[in-house]
Amino acid sequence: MTMPFTSAFRRSRTRRAGCMATLAVASCALFAGLATATQTVVIGEVEVQSTGDAAYVEAMRAAIVRTTGRRSAATDPAFATLIQDARRYVQIFRPPTGGNPARITLDVVAIERAIAALGQTTWSRERPVVLGVITAAPEGADPGTVRAQLERAAIERGLPLRLSSAAAAGVTPGTVVTPEAALLAARRAGADVALVGAADGAEWQWTLFDGASATVFYGDVAAGVEGAADTLALGSLAAVAQPLGEAEFHVRGVRSLKDYADVQKLLVAMPAIKSADLVATDAEGAWFRVEVSGGAAGLAEALATQPRLKREGGSNSRDYRYGP
């Protein structure tokens, strides 16, 4: 049974100066309005069930989990002083009304600074959007309950999750989903990676397709969300921990403004890449210059996770082929 979810550039030797000037202006205007497959996560808005000072502590624990990308951070002794001082970070307290729980707004910038002062790392608030698809649900499972459990886990972990039915995602229920099909479904849905789940009785198997690998998680209905958050946060932290450097590379197959826009979107959506600029075009494509964690080596690692940019030539080649 399928779960019916509703939400779901180096300069060119053959440079064409006039065309380049026109294209640069046009593409800059186009890029200014682009929406990437990342989403800014709300960290400091927390619903709480506790009352009094316990409510502030509950909110702080939730914010620390979202900020660090680690579920275990809520009980990590490294954050004990931050949790004890939770009240000083409260900006707004909204009492419960009409059956809705109390809501607390925390000073996220101050919390991030405090975490850094403790020598701990934070997960960027700009995070990849995950497409969630279930191809086989437990017999008799209530779709609304399953959806609520997934959405609640995603909120708790600070993971942008977009749920879709298998049919809407273009995959066949009850079949094994290939990485290509999963990533294609993610792109169609405006997501960056795909999380595909199937249940065998009460046991769930979730597979995260991120373009570089397929990671499998076993457990309950929320195991996929928990595993995806762990994996994406760890990958992001590892990427940004490297020193920034510039690197240039060539992309073949870039012909139109839409192609330039698509490549720009793919680049700026990667956690390791801080900026990406078009600097030249030639008869075969375009050159891009990026500011990236780890420089040229970091760029190669980052692009290896993007199936639409395939490296051509040997391991030291700076040529890539753009594909749909």
Cβ(312)–Cβ(319) below 8 Å = yes
Domains in the chain with CATH codes: 17-34+242-322 (no CATH), 42-117 (no CATH), 126-238 (3.40.50)
CB atoms within 10 A of CB 218: 12
Query: Could you tell me the pLDDT band of residue 95, with boundaries at 50, 70 and 90?
Result: very high
pTM (2 d.p.): 0.68
Check if the beta carbon of residue 270 is closer than 8 Å to that of residue 305. Answer: yes
Residue 67 has pLDDT above 90, yes or no: yes
Rounded CA-CA distance 76/43 in Å is 18
Mean pLDDT check: name the lowest of 4-18, 204-218, 283-297: 4-18
| Per-chain mean pLDDT for the chain | 84
Q: Kindly tell me the sign of the dihedral angle through the C-alpha atoms of 75, 78, 79, 82.
A: positive
Segment 140-185, tens digit of pLDDT: 889 899 999 999 999 999 999 999 999 999 988 888 898 889 988 9
User: What is the C-alpha separation between 46 and 90, in angstroms, rounded?
Assistant: 11
Nearest-angstrom CA–CA distance, 149 and 142: 11
Return the pLDDT at 270. 77
Helix H or strand E segment including 235:
helix 223-240
